[in-house]
Amino acid sequence: MKKVYADNAATTNVSKPVLEAMLPIYENVYGNPSSLYEIGAEARVYLDNARETVAKCLGANQNEIYFTSGGSESDNWAIKGVAHALMAKGKNHIITSKFEHHAVLHTCEALRKEGFEITYLEVYENGIVKPEDVEKAIKDTTALVTIMYANNEIGTIQPIKEIGAICKKHGVLFHTDAVQAIGNVHIDVKEQNIDLLSLSGHKFHAPKGVGALYIRRGIRIPNLIDGGAQESGKRAGTENVAGIVGLAKALEIATETIDSKNEKLKKMTSRLIDEVLKIERSRLNGDREKRLPGNVSFCFEGIEGESLLLMLDMKGISASSGSACTSGSLDPSHVLLSIGLPHEIAHGSLRLSFSDVNCEEDIDYIIETLPPIVNRLRAMSPLWDRIING
């Protein structure tokens, strides 16, 4: 049976060049980079070089990059940090969107319980935030706008530069969760008016448990983790040097290959979309063009996403559903509800996400395998009978 991994938006494999870059740290340069002796100083060199690489890939300065454990920590630090830093100045309002990652939504909810006011912007059927809505929501008490660069479930890319320009015009800080976008789109934090940016290595072939937060020079926010003097005294804890070196190598490779990779992925997913939409009562979620080339999300009326995933897995296809029922909840994805899908349709969702590791043969296999499974599930569903018979 053929195996197809089509859940790269959830996580990616660690590539061979990344593993090779990390091995010397585990085997030979395993010293604590804060130590003064030779093996520690060597580890510090690796750490500094990695920071310089990450900064270069983002169009940032080296002293604006802080290494973290991943995207969730970076989101928490950025949002809570700005909120608490500006609270004393009477800035207690945060603007975000309805379809952010839970690392952002739950952080905003925690701040709401502290007394902060949160505005949740609409994203509409195409899954894109309107810059004019951002501007209308800004007021004198606004401390931060936090809008994700690309949605993790439906892949739609947001007008980040335009939103950043609006924030700059009004003197409001702008944070973007770029976890899904990094390595898939060209990013320049200065040119795109980004003040804070979160990323996570395991989305672009680096290991899990390592990420980074870009904080524009001049922005001072309180620490999320207190302790030692690591990361310029801003983020305590002995640095994961091997993971950081892996992240930097993976980001360097991803940044250099964006155009060629996207050309390949767009061709593959465009064909997949055309074929899948031939299935009766199917739909593509979000804008077809303004999306990550490797991310496609569908809904199929009359079926449950969880059953679809299990049957795809039996055929060797690893995918995911926008439906939160896979994590024990009966509620459909908040992302799909935010773009206006009714509950009964949102439950029948499927996300397929690809990386440069995937090939045309993977697409062929999915096109061959998916329609019969959808038909089989519908044949067993009384709901489908009601749909087609009115």
What's the number of CA atoms in the CB half-sphere (13 Å) around residue 225? 17
Alpha-carbon span 255 to 76, nearest angstrom: 25
Residue 119 phi, psi dihedral angles, 5° rounding: -105, 125
What's the number of CA atoms in the CB half-sphere (13 Å) around residue 24? 14
Please, what sign has the CA dihedral across residues 237, 240, 244, 247? negative
161: amino acid identity, one letter:
K
Task: Say whether 325 is catalytic.
Answer: yes
* Residue 218 near residue 210, CB atoms below 8 Å: no
Query: SS3 for 218?
Result: coil
* Residue 235 near residue 68, CB atoms below 8 Å: yes
Q: Exactly one of 57, 167, 325, 359 is catalytic; which is it?
A: 325
**Burial (CB count within 10 angstroms: exposed 0-12, middle 13-18, buried 19+), residue 94:** buried
Helices 38-58, 241-256: crossing angle, 10 deg rounding: 30
Q: Which residues participate in catalysis according to the annotation?
A: 325
